[in-house]
Structure 1
Amino acid sequence: MSIVRIISFTEAGYQLSCKMQDCLQERAEVVLYSGKNQVAERHAEVCAVSDGLKNWCSEVFDKSEVLIFVGACGIAVRTIAPFVNSKCTDPAVLVADEQGKHIISLLSGHLGGGNQWTLFLAQKLQADPVITTASDVNEHLAVDVWAKQQGWQIADLTLAKHAAAAIVAGEKLPFYAEDMQIQNLPKELNLFSSKESFQEMISKRAGEPIAGIVVSIYDHWQKNVLRLVPKRVILGIGCRKEKDPAEVETQVRQVLENYHVAVESIAKLVSIDLKAEEAGILRLAERWGIPFETFSTEELQLVPGTFAESEFVKKTTGVGNVCERAAVAALPEEAQRQPCWICHKQAENGVTVAMVALPL
């Protein structure tokens, strides 16, 4: 559940905070704060901010999905300024006047969901929503919001900004989705049905800030093409016991580079349960923010298919191929008999890697 923190500074602000809490209680965990000790002392459920707003913000900024300031915009701006980092990671920040007449989306309107939270609260409180992002006020496609809704990762935020600027200017951008059908394509995109025709078009636009948009798990596209990356890749991995974590990551990166697979496309790492505590794999999963799942020897033995077997690995683990079998085991059962291989076992320097694509 999302964590929403609301800070107010007066009794009237506290009363509005309570109304917001009632509106949000079914979709978020709400914590109330007050910048005035007198208000906090009167209301037991309110946390007092007694060590200064900057110190408070340093503690909660990265731990919140939404921060709401009930008061002046200037207070909010000065408080959050030292902690604003990236639209990919910053929380949504909203501001409301203490009479609840206006709800303002101040920060992370798109990727942080600030605009949606603003619209939701404004509707509940019968307030005026204040949204200033150009794509929204002009009723154009917001590429970052659309990508988030589809579960795609934006590979380059600078190109996303160029795409947004082109769309707001009325340009229809070339678009291609590799190996998938897109339902309800936004009107701002010009769909190309073949990879060849799309590549021909983007090559003509090589000198433009943005040539086009592609949905693909691969990273070998023209540099000024915005890549939206679906998480479709299952990466099976095995390694020698206590293999150096840096060497594990180096080898995995090398395989990804060899096959032009984007890191952002990896949905999960998978292996045998004997590797559940393997430091090199755990560190890789943590650094890349990717789930790590393991299967028992018995589960891997039941995986259908023909695999490149190693007698040494079989004696050690009970199965002759860990990375390929684990990758297939992670697929839905109906896809296991005909997996879509990106690469079969790649073995180097005590690390083995295999990749399959999740079905669409």
Structure 2
Amino acid sequence: MSAPEGSLVDRDVDRDGVRAIALRGTVLDVVVCPDAGGKILDLVHQPTGVNLLWRNPRVPVQMTHAGAPFDDVWCGGWDELFPTDQPCELDGTIYHDHGDLWIGQWDWKVEQDDGDAAVIYLRRYSASLPCLMERWISLDRDALQLRVRYRLSNEGVRPVPFVWNVHVAHAIHPGSRVHLPAQTVAAVPPYTGRVEPGRDDVPWPGPGGDDGDLSLLPAPDSGLSEYFFTPDLDDGWCAVTHPQHGIGLGLAFDRSVFPRVWLFGAYGGWRGHYFQLTEPSTGVPGSLADNVAAGFAAELVAGESLETEVVATVLTDLEDPAAVLQAAARAG
């Protein structure tokens, strides 16, 4: 399918029977599913035909609903997790598995589509908190960057604590690598993989070599699963590259908003899948209740809004991902 002449937006998109919308540039082809939790489903580099986002081969795209276990209906792609990761109860409120923004439909409209650039606006209220999440997903015709601008507003009368993750699932291959501006990572049981359980100061990426370089992702027959997070970041970016394809995907973000990155990798282990999650996050692994108790929960004052942007860049020069991502972020 293609967008109408003089347009980048294709409104006539179907994924497994679910309505979707596409932004079709000359370099990137992006599919968004407002009816399936507002996820970004595909991010395809058209010159190579590579979809940088992982799609679950066993779970179709579907309209989600309250009460559904996230892992059982997760079809991959890019989701927004808010206001928790793990389910919990806090101050009498029950918080859903992986939050509640992925549940149900997002309202949307096309704000710009002039042949040179396109912007889709999406909005969704949290079910558990008096908060509104707004997103502007932007693509220029010839760009390697997809820009996602956010505004999170507290419409209540009290401050609200929250955990927010930009939950991006990367399609990976043997030889793929994770890049992080971090000196150490902490391992999260039980998914410690190549790391000794209980370590919270694992050098990143490690001493090197096939067994000592944590940035080099294991093969799908390793049967491993790994869950790490960065206690500290030197800068606001992360990336996954695929040298065998000469391509990668990086995220640039505001480190003052997302001070940590969570990494969850399934290398033939968890449910037999093969993917890598990178998750810029406001908190640490666990639930909102865990983060409140440990002092890591973010907070939004009543009547105020938090605005930020995440820039996703398809990397075609893999020599220095940091420089490319920093330049892309500054260009915004």
Normalised to the residue count of structure 2, the TM-score between the two structures is 0.26
Larger RCO: Structure 1 or Structure 2 (Cα < 8 Å, ≥ 6 residues apart)? 2
More strand by share: 2
Normalised to the residue count of structure 1, the TM-score between the two structures is 0.24
